[in-house]
Amino acid sequence: MLQALKGARQLHSSSMKQAVSELSVPVPWGQIRGKIWGPDQGRPVLCVHGWADNCGTFNTLIPLLPKEFRYVALDLAGHGLSSHRPPGVFYSFPAYVADVRRVVDALQWDKFSIIGHSMGGNIAGLFSALYPEMVDAVVLLDSYGFLPTDLKEVPKVMRQGFEEMLQFEKRTEEKKTRVYTYEHAVERLLAANKTLTEQSVRLLLERGLVQVEGGVVFSRDFRINLKNIVRISLEQSLEMQSRIQASVQVILAEDGFEKIFAEPDQKKFTSALLQAYRDRNHSVITVPGDHHVHLNNPEVVAPLVSDFLQTKVLSQSANLTDEQTSKL
């Protein structure tokens, strides 16, 4: 843990009005970066952002959550200030899960909770299925925990992913990274993501831009835009989901993922996943807002997440301690 936190520095974020710690965890190709809120001995919570975002997506939510927890929000590989994967390497959910395992090992966490938004929720779902003994609670923010693909589509998707990577590598040899002014970068991100407010865009760009001569460039690895070649079916997703031992809270936005991104055929998959959560007595809630409601309007989400963490983590822990004490 000392190695993982070596060089940690205290930051003061004008948007947060409070000090946070910067996290840096060594990995074979560089480092995984992130931010930390909360007391050293607080109950650990890992926060995992969505596709093309960074840990700044939690800047407005975490200050509204219970203070007894220690929140570590990651910049996933290729996002924010974290290192890009080596040349020729694909980005996929299993690779991100391995990164999470590296981080929690460096932090020496053996039991923790996960809050995941969008793609981060899919990483949280897969991690919780593969390492059920390590996760006590999962919050899925506008995410279903898994993203099934029709088996008939898998070959086409895989081939498309391979071709996109090859074309990207050819273009990279001749193409220079585009330099923007800060305001132009804001405009570009706003235009590309209609579910972000301008304030939210500026929060994400705190870690989403790098200063260079003549302006700024986006810090993320543009390979994250390529088609994900690692897919699982609905049957595989439901099998994975059944292995989760943690309490799960699903918070869906009325104008969120399913309405904006999901293909019509995918709705039968998401319905099956949601029903399986309900059948296992997990919580499924819909709130007003869009795909980034947790960032744009955190006051809508925070009470639900806070109550869930208090009930499923702190109260359960207290009850377990009381039981152990009574046996002595």
For 133-153, give the secondary structure using H, E and C. HHEEEEEEECCCCCCCCCHHH
CA distance 231 to 155: 10
User: Which residue segment(s) compose the domain that 285 sits in?
Assistant: 10-150+232-327
Average pLDDT over residues 303-321: 85
Tokens 């059948």 sit at which residue? 279
Whether residue 54 is predicted with pLDDT greater than 90 in this model: the reply is yes
CA distance 315 to 317: 5
For residue 174, being part of any structural domain is answered with no
**Average confidence score pLDDT of the chain:** 91
What's the domain count of the chain? 1
Average pLDDT over residues 135-154: 96
Q: In this predicted structure, which of 55-64, 67-76, 172-181, 268-277 has the lowest mean pLDDT?
A: 172-181
Structure confidence at residue 1 as a pLDDT band (50, 70, 90): very low
For residue 187, being part of any structural domain is answered with no
Tokens 């190695």 sit at which residue? 3
Whether residue 29 is predicted with pLDDT greater than 60 in this model: the reply is yes
For residue 67, being part of any structural domain is answered with yes
71-101 pLDDT, tens digit each: 999 999 999 999 999 999 999 999 999 999 9
For residue 292, being part of any structural domain is answered with yes
Average pLDDT over residues 175-188: 92
Return the pLDDT at 130: 98
For residue 219, being part of any structural domain is answered with no
Whether residue 153 is predicted with pLDDT greater than 90 in this model: the reply is yes
Structure confidence at residue 173 as a pLDDT band (50, 70, 90): low
CA distance 151 to 235: 10
Residue 251 near residue 301, CB atoms below 8 Å:
yes
278, two tokens: 């309900």
Nearest residue to 108 via CA among 244, 245, 34, 4: 4
CB neighbours of residue 278 within 10 Å: 12
Return the pLDDT at 263: 72
For residue 184, being part of any structural domain is answered with no
Structure confidence at residue 201 as a pLDDT band (50, 70, 90): very high
Please identify every residue annotated as catalytic: 118
CATH number of the domain to which 280 belongs: 3.40.50.1820
For residue 181, being part of any structural domain is answered with no
Whether residue 13 is predicted with pLDDT greater than 50 in this model: the reply is no
pTM: 0.91
Strands 283-290 and 247-255: parallel
For residue 26, being part of any structural domain is answered with yes
